[in-house]
Structure 1
Amino acid sequence: MFRISKEFHFSASHQLAHLPADHQCARLHGHNYIVVVELAAKELNADGFVRDYHELRPLKIYIDEVFDHRHLNDVLNVPTTAENMAKHFFDWCQARWPETVAVRISETPKTWAEYRP
């Protein structure tokens, strides 16, 4: 199996207001997010790629236009956890690139969430 991945960055705020008031994530706060999309294929295409990295540019545009420097509670209709964001980006990517096998989201240098069906 051949695998590729590409990393994207954005900054945004969010609040997990459903948590107890004394939980740090219940307060309004922000992160410098990292999104990593992973694609896989058993065989390479005629150009020798799983998929040309340039073809992933629509994800950068989507992130820049919809997520970057936004309040995520105004963007997503689910709790804005890294887990839910990973699933959201996975669904978005898989609809465009069937080779998508996973999406990872980082909120901090030490934390990651992944959606992989």
Structure 2
Amino acid sequence: MDTIKNDLYTRKLAEKWNFIRKFAAENTYRNMIYCISKRMEIAAAHQLRLSHESKCSRLHGHNWMVTVYLMSEELNEDGMVADFTSVKESIHGYLDHGYLNDLIDRNPTAENIAQWIVERIPQCYKAVVQESEGNTAMAVDERKIAGKESLVL
């Protein structure tokens, strides 16, 4: 008889817990915005195609510092906006120790690299690309942050 009572108690407790979890998921976290950032160093070469004479028109490289910003109104099944390792792999794994002219579909300026990153990752609303000390470019997709500017910038 005690076993039956314990089983019933356990089942009732499980039902109550499932109700609480469902209620919390449906009500508590509405209007929540989650943001993450991932910073990485990428060693890569490029050769800019410019309308004026510049040493940057010659083949050269940088140790780029890249920071990507991702946003979501919902967490995935693992409780994350995105897995940091996956974010790094999609950028660092593709560009590191590469020749950017062959890897991206535009003139590989810092601005264009930032834009390419924002376009590559659906949840990425901002990318900051620093090619050297003092030289930084940023791209922000306004469509991804419409109405949330004060929260994410």
Answer whether TM exceeds 0.5 for this pair.
Answer: yes
Label 1:50 to 1:66 Cα distance change in 2 as closer, same or farther (>3 A).
closer
Q: Is the 8 Å Cα contact of residues 13 and 30 (structure 1) preserved in structure 2?
A: yes
User: What amino acid does structure 1 have at the position aligned with 2:47?
Assistant: Q
- 2:99 & 2:76 partners in 1: Cα distance? 42
TM-score by length of 1: 0.76
The alignment status of 1:79 with 2:107, answered yes or no, reads: yes
Q: How many residues align?
A: 108
- Unaligned ranges ≥5, structure 1: none
2: distance between equivalents of 1:65 and 1:58? 9
Secondary structure of the structure 1 residue equivalent to 2:36: strand
In terms of fraction of residues, the more strand-rich structure is 1
CA deviation after TM superposition for structure 1 residue 10, in Å? 0.9
CA distance, structure 1, for counterparts of residue 118 and residue 75 of structure 2: 22
- Partners of 1:40 and 1:115 lie apart in 2 by 15
Deviation at 1:6, TM superposition (A): 1.4
Structure 1 residues 112 and 50: CA distance shift in structure 2, 3 A: farther
Corresponding position of 1:17? 49
Cα offset, 1:65, TM superposition: 3.3
Aligned equivalents of 1:36 and 1:64: distance in 2? Answer: 11
Tell me the equivalent position of 1:8. Answer: 40
Is the contact between residue 45 and residue 59 of structure 2 (CA under 8 Å) also seen in structure 1?
yes
Residue 51 of structure 1 aligns with which residue? 81
Relative distance call for 1:111 and 1:66 in structure 2 (3 A) is same
Whole-angstrom distance in 2 between the partners of 1:65 and 1:3: 22
Corresponding residue of 1:106:
130
Quick one: structure 1 residues 58 and 45, their matched pair in 2 at CA, closer, same or farther if it must change by over 3 Å? closer
Any conservation in 2 of the 1:9–1:33 contact (CA below 8 Å)?
yes
1:110 CA drift (Å): 1.2
Structure in which a larger fraction of residues adopt helix: 2
Cα shift readout 1:34-80 (whole Å, capped 9, x = no counterpart): 11111235x67499x7626xx13123223343211111111112100
